[in-house]
Structure 1
């Protein structure tokens, strides 16, 4: 059985390859069940979270990710997101590999947003606005830059010093990184706006989104979390999610507008439908596109499969 630590996984996880693997998985389909979530309230009103996400690609592979999210870890010098992934042979059940779950989550989540942007963002998108300065934010920046001709990144975070720290670590060839002091101006300038926060109140206002922009909502993973307001729903030509199972009743940016009657379940398009050509992607240069990432075991499985195949190629070389 292979053991893939975080450093090795990051070395093997090129974004074009990950995006291609996720595209194939969405086209073919993978069986998964609703994630198991357990939460422990914290004194500051937030929570420590533990999630289990299994999936099975029949006659190929199956696996499960166990991931914890402890926001208070940052102050202790520990990683916020921690986890493990176990991958098994889908033909005989034999364990194939253990992978670092935190590294897998970071790469998978970023590549998933990049896949959505590859379907939905304008081909000439040059300005990326990043909202948030947590562990995931730099990976989102790199992933989007891998599939669109990004020349400028505007980085905003409530804590300006943290934004400056994270932005300074973002070294992308040919890309100018600017720490933005004003959120509204940064959103208005973005061809792609990617939001990775744990906010319970909308951070992005729909009337800030310029024609032709693509909104990528990544951070909220619970019903009480919300990153974009109702106007963002109204501005979007269509509404996309990565998977219904991990969004419709799970994440605030989807379940809250559904409950309020602002969004209809029948109108929501998932990436599998787009990958199979059943539903359209972007249809015009001026429309605003809206995507909510809920994650899911199917995405982890596709990425784990790709990483293992890359590891085997490296081993044989």
Structure 2
């Protein structure tokens, strides 16, 4: 039996090329050969923090090829421990005999594949001439989302907002040598009406993106708000936009940004234009004109994890 490979965050951070990862995700969604059971989403009490934590179990199989399951915990108040909100492990399996091939640290894997999925969606939904981005949120995803979006659009200006201005400054400092200028801002309204792409990755329960501020031709990338009572965008944003999701199964059920407007009758399920399966297979159309406002809601999909695990495992084996 071969030894179990250990792939840590440092390897993932050092060996990610977003253009490559985006393309393997594109192929994975377009081919749609992966079997994806409904993921387990369980909230559990965390009395000391006075808010629930969440455990997610996300299995996936590509029959005869690869398989895996991700175990993730989300603890929204982990910043006080100087820990990321999202922690976990990916167990990468041999699809034939069920043996464990690798244990992959899931924090970076999740951040990279999530950012790549947003950039994949942007390649269909944002204007091709998009050159500016507002990043809302300063967590582990923020840097990755900026870099991923910059890999599919020629960004010239990036702005970063967070509840902590110091954290926004820190993100900008980390990315100061990129090919775009990057600037921290004090409030969202400073730039939200000017930029071409808005990407948001927060745990907010109240909308941060207000439709009244949006202009024609913008693309809105909603990555946070993973619970049914969380929202990053208000009803007006959803109403005035063409809405897309990463998958219909999760995108319509697990997040407040889509679920609340559905429940209140603001939109119907038929108003959701497409998911990544439809876009990548070219069965569905993305942006139709330069004035259209598009919204992409990401909740994460186990296909993304398995494709990313394949990507990093192959890179690791090739490096030995």
1:113: how far off? 0.6
Counting only pairs closer than 5 Å after superposition, residues 63-74 of structure 1 correspond to structure 2 as: 63-74=68-79
Q: Quick one: which of 71, 75, 84 aligns to 2:80?
A: 75
Q: Provide the residue aligned with 2:182 in structure 1.
A: 177
Mapped contact 1:127–1:152 kept (Cα < 8 A)? yes
Q: Provide the residue aligned with 2:27 in structure 1.
A: 24
1:124: how far off? 1.2
Q: Partner of 1:125: helix, strand, or coil?
A: coil
- Structure-1 separation of matches of 2:125 and 2:291: 12
- Structure-2 separation of matches of 1:240 and 1:46: 30
Q: Partner of 1:250: helix, strand, or coil?
A: coil
- Structure-2 separation of matches of 1:93 and 1:105: 23
Q: Provide the residue aligned with 2:245 in structure 1.
A: 241
Q: Provide the residue aligned with 1:55 in structure 2.
A: 60
Mapped contact 1:2–1:97 kept (Cα < 8 A)? yes
Aligned length: 314
1:285: how far off? 1.4
1:42: how far off? 4.4
- Residues 195-225 of structure 1 show CA distances to partners (whole Å, capped at 9, x for unaligned) of 0110111110112122111000001111001
Mapped contact 2:49–2:77 kept (Cα < 8 A)? no
Counting only pairs closer than 5 Å after superposition, residues 101-116 of structure 1 correspond to structure 2 as: 101-116=106-121
Mapped contact 2:67–2:94 kept (Cα < 8 A)? yes
Q: Quick one: which of 249, 266, 273 aligns to 2:270?
A: 266
Mapped contact 1:74–1:80 kept (Cα < 8 A)? yes
2:298 is equivalent to residue 293 of structure 1: yes
**How big is the alpha-carbon RMSD for the aligned residues of Structure 1 and Structure 2?**
1.5
Q: Provide the residue aligned with 2:285 in structure 1.
A: 280
1:45: how far off? 4.7
Query: What is the TM-score normalised by the length of structure 2?
Result: 0.94
Greater displacement, 170-179 / 130-139: 170-179
2:85 is equivalent to residue 93 of structure 1: no
- Structure-1 separation of matches of 2:243 and 2:231: 15
Q: Quick one: which of 212, 222, 230 aligns to 2:227?
A: 222
After the TM superposition, which segments of 4 or more aligned residues of structure 1 sit over 6 Å from their partners? none
2:308 is equivalent to residue 303 of structure 1: yes
Query: What is the TM-score normalised by the length of structure 1?
Result: 0.95
1:272: how far off? 0.3
Gaps of 5+ in 1: none
Mapped contact 2:76–2:203 kept (Cα < 8 A)? no
